[in-house]
Chain A
């Protein structure tokens, strides 16, 4: 075997001379051992090929393992205390098995929390984070959320900013990582929340990383050597008869490549959908009970993409039915890979009562292996049920954003908003009858099944 005599040959030798996998149908080793140049301890690298930094579990020294010559980045000589979950232990989270390969303790203004880096060679990396609120399970994003002001849009879900940006510092580090990490590293951290899920954005110099995480109960984590000491749990012990693995992987990887909203997140969506159906039924009912009204009124205005928010006023709008449904439709012809969001307020002139609503118009397009796709539409509407009679002004705070901002900054788009109220449409009547018949049909179907 000639090889090139390059330094990498030594690493392959250190790894037990494991050759290229093509020639080796046999099971490959799962770890590579290096010697800590500070304390002489043997440090196992469990994600060989991915890990670039290892913090020695015996002395805490931070080592560079990106290159064949293991070098000390930061020398420490401290007894490394036991971790709540020991390094190298294996366990199960949400149907997949992971090994705990790294640990970081970070803090904001002295308030600390623990982060455990999990790895499975077939699934990739995940995070288990433990703070005073319990455990969360995190996945790094492979797409970029669309951020605008206080909101971040990801996988069709709107996350709202907690409103603060914190400076998080690394206090302790043990184990291996696929990036450079050192004690004292700072990151700017901001969170966005939605239905029990959190999007975290971390900025370091010119690098931005996003993670989506959700709370998990202690019962959703199994293993991780909780009964063992800090020594490695035997790899094979935690690894027998795990037919659930495939199901877990399937659950983690949604078919569109996004992280599937799961657990409380998914339940919240179900409730939202149910609520949406209920609202739809109410709207239909409102249509049935509101007669009269006015014809459609329109107005137009210009918005600058990624420009400042604009406040537009329109009125007077006279609603003379006792109570009516008002539809505020906004369209931006030609809108693409951009969204317009609007905080809508109807203010009654004499009483100054305000009715608030929020609307968004968004349209995205692209191309993937299935051909070209578009999502959303260049028009959208906000429907407000039960608006009392009166003379109103419509006040809208509107802004337009392209993704990612500010890409086409400065481009102006024409937006048109139309207001209409009341009116009964034949199609709505049919739809209402259909909705009203659903429970009936369901009961009939249940009765039919029960009778068999």
Chain B
């Protein structure tokens, strides 16, 4: 763990991941990026709106036999709602997103879009308009395009792999399959990202150090 001071307010800033460049200061909400020449404040994140998410920074779990910790979050908003994407740092050094929407969770890892990728996916990456019902076949799974949204960052916290200033707007597209596999595609003027993974529950992840919510018994997924 590397510890420095926030260039804006002087509060201690620490990174648990050696690889992630961005950190939101817990005290002043400055978005700080670390570079070879030092730290730089590149913007400010909004304060997180109140929600009853059971996940928090520090929540831990297991996926695919590897442990992880939640180290950051972006809250995305769109015209009819909002959702969370939690940055997970795995014990093997890799990262993944734990998406949380409508009470469901998805664990997604970034996947490359290559020459071999499905033509529909490459068309999306090339800037074509997404169409509901489009089928994308990747890694032997057929994903159906079920949702298209324009989303913007409402707020963020913790360690993140990219800049996260408020009002950054993206196209976000969700895919589901006949099984637990799911995928997500995000696009902005700077580039694209394709993420594949699975629908999971907190029990599947054997999640612990969850957020305590008044009036609710904290489930013990480790004992289950």
Chain A interface residues (CB < 8 Å from chain B): 1-4, 6, 8-9, 11-12, 14-16, 18-23, 26-30, 32, 46-50, 52, 66, 68, 90, 97, 119-125, 140, 142-146, 153, 178-180, 206, 208, 235-236, 239, 242, 245-247, 249-250, 252-253, 255-258, 337, 364-370, 372, 403-404, 407
Contacts and interface: CB of A to CB of B under 8 A. Distances in A.
B82 A66 contact: yes
B31 to A, nearest CB: 10
A143 B178 contact: yes
Interface in B34-70: 44-54, 56-58, 63-64
B112 interface: no
Contacts of A124: 102-104, 201
B130 interface: no
A90 B214 CA distance: 13
A153 B178 CA distance: 9
A361 B218 CA distance: 45
Given A8-B47, A142-B180, 4 more contacts: A49-B50, A119-B103, A121-B53, A236-B215
Given A142-B180, A236-B215, A123 B50 contact: no
Contact of B80 (A12, A66, A145, A249): A66
B52 A368 contact: no
A245 B202 CA distance: 13
B186 interface: no
Contacts of A30: 52, 213-216
Contacts of A12: 47-50
18 contacts: A1-B29, A1-B47, A4-B44, A6-B46, A8-B46, A12-B49, A14-B50, A28-B213, A124-B104, A153-B178, A245-B220, A252-B203, A255-B204, A257-B179, A257-B199, A368-B198, A372-B140, A407-B142
B177 A3 contact: no
B121 to A, nearest CB: 14
Contacts of B212: 26-28
A256 B180 contact: yes
The 6 A-B pairs at the shortest CB distance, nearest first, are namely: A49-B51, A124-B103, A15-B50, A235-B215, A257-B180, A22-B57
Contact of A366 (B132, B140, B166, B204): B140
Contacts of B48: 8, 12, 19-20
A428 B5 CA distance: 76
A146 B29 contact: no
B204 A257 contact: yes
B52 A239 contact: no
Interface residues of B, number: 71
A277 to B, nearest CB: 28
Given A6-B46, A97-B217, A245-B217, A122 B210 contact: yes
Contacts of A337: 142
B198 A122 contact: no
Given A50-B52, A125-B102, A407-B142, A4 B45 contact: yes
Contact of B64 (A90, A146, A369): A369
A5 to B, nearest CB: 8
Interface string B82-126: 101000000000000000001110000000000000000000000
A257 B205 CA distance: 11
Nearest to A244: B217
A90 B215 CA distance: 10
Contacts of B213: 27-30, 121
B112 to A, nearest CB: 14
B3 interface: no
Nearest to A141: B176
B102 A50 contact: yes
A368 B80 contact: no
Given A8-B47, A257-B204, A142 B80 contact: no
A18 B179 contact: no
Contacts of B104: 124, 140, 142
A249 B27 CA distance: 36
A179 B52 contact: no
Contacts of B29: 1-4
B217 A239 contact: yes
Nearest to B141: A366
Contact of A19 (B46, B47, B182, B216): B47
A97 to B, nearest CB: 7
A404 B135 contact: yes
B89 to A, nearest CB: 14
Contacts of A97: 216-217
Contacts of B202: 122-123, 249
A206 B199 contact: no
B26 interface: yes
A366 B139 contact: yes
A407 B179 CA distance: 16
Contact of B201 (A66, A206, A236, A253): A253
Contacts of A9: 46-47
Contacts of A48: 49-52
A370 B64 contact: yes
A125 B100 CA distance: 13
Contact of A11 (B50, B139, B180): B50
B142 A403 contact: yes
B28 interface: yes
B61 to A, nearest CB: 13
Nearest to B223: A246
A3 B178 CA distance: 43
B176 A144 contact: yes
A404 to B, nearest CB: 5
Given A142-B182, A245-B219, A1 B214 contact: no
A298 to B, nearest CB: 30
Contacts of A255: 204
A350 B113 CA distance: 62
A32 B53 CA distance: 13
A369 B223 CA distance: 23
A145 B177 CA distance: 9
B1 interface: no
B178 A404 contact: yes
A121 B54 contact: yes
Nearest to A336: B140
